[in-house]
Amino acid sequence: MMIKFTYYGHACFQLADGQTKILVDPYFTGNPAATVAAKDISCNYILVSHAHGDHLGDAPFIAKNCRAEIVAIPEVLSICQQEAPQAVCHPMNVGGELKLPFGKVRMTTAIHSSGVPGGVAGGFMIYFGDVAVYYAGDTALFADMQYIGEAYKPDWAILPIGDNYTMGIEDAATAAKWLKVKHVIPVHYNTWPIIAQDPQLFKELAERYAMTKVHIVAPGESLDMRGEALSV
Ligand code: NI
Ligand code: MN
């Protein structure tokens, strides 16, 4: 079975196995890089890393529109519930693990502001079938990524490279090395001039410095994460 990664631009992506669709940081409205509109998205779960508009995005609308269940910290869920009071919510927090029918989600630390009073920014380890995906969220490089690599054994890492608000390409290359991942997808770049980056430069740097393969995915494009993981 395939685990299809689809990139919608910025830090918005979906994982799908033919049965379950997991949408992460659903920023469509106002996203200059988005290739589809929020109303055209269907999914079962929405994971929100923090409350900044470029991550929380259209989560409440999509939760209402396709009855998707939302996974986030309580402070982020409160914002979603104001607009989507009927939404099924899964509150969790950093360090915790949540079992869901498709596998499990663990919330990881991120060094970043949260966008909501009392909240923290996070990332996610997503265990989807037999593929383990680490999405760092918006974050600085932090040394515990080595522990995430050792303890949670991600096959893939989805890392911000845009700099200014998050890691830039050099720190993201170090992150790839510390995480010991075989596959990396860069996100959170080129949405606006302030986070302009050359993903090809990141690819060259990360592949030289870390034992990893960098997959540059254009907005609107997809790849098979499971197929790639099995082929190495
Ligand atoms: Ni942010
Ligand atoms: Mn962001």
Considering the entire predicted model, what is its pTM?
A: 0.97
Structural domain of 30: 4-217
In total, how many domains does the chain have? Answer: 1
Share of the chain above pLDDT 90, in %: 97
Question: Average of pLDDT values for 54-58?
Answer: 98
Q: Residue 232 above 60 pLDDT?
A: no
pLDDT at position 205 is: 98
Within a domain: 232: no
Q: In the structure encoding, which two tokens stand for residue 164, read together?
A: 């200014």
The β-bridge partners of 158 are 135, 185
**What mean pLDDT do residues 77-89 have?**
97
List alpha helices for the chain, DSSP H: 53-56, 59-66, 74-83, 145-147, 169-179, 199-209, 225-230
Q: How close is the Cα of 1 to the center of ligand 1, in Å?
A: 33
Residue 227 domain-assigned?
no
- Of the ligands numbered here, which is closest to the C-alpha atom of 188? 2
CA distance linking residue 57 with residue 59, whole number of Å? 6
Please report the pLDDT score of residue 231 as a whole number. Answer: 74
Residues 42 and 58: their CA atoms lie apart, in Å, by: 12
Distance, CA 56 to ligand 1 centroid (Å)?
9
| Residue 202, domain member (yes or no) | yes
Q: What separation in Å is there between the alpha carbon of 138 and the centre of ligand 1?
A: 5
Residue 92, pLDDT > 90, answer yes
pLDDT of residue 228: 87
**Ligand 2 centre distance from Cα of residue 167 (Å):** 11
Answer yes or no: is 229 within a domain.
no
For residue 55, report the distance from its CA to the centre of ligand 2, in Å.
6
Q: What would the two tokens of residue 208 be?
A: 């030289």
- Looking up residue 76, the CATH number of its domain turns out to be 3.60.15.10
DSSP secondary structure letter of residue 58: T
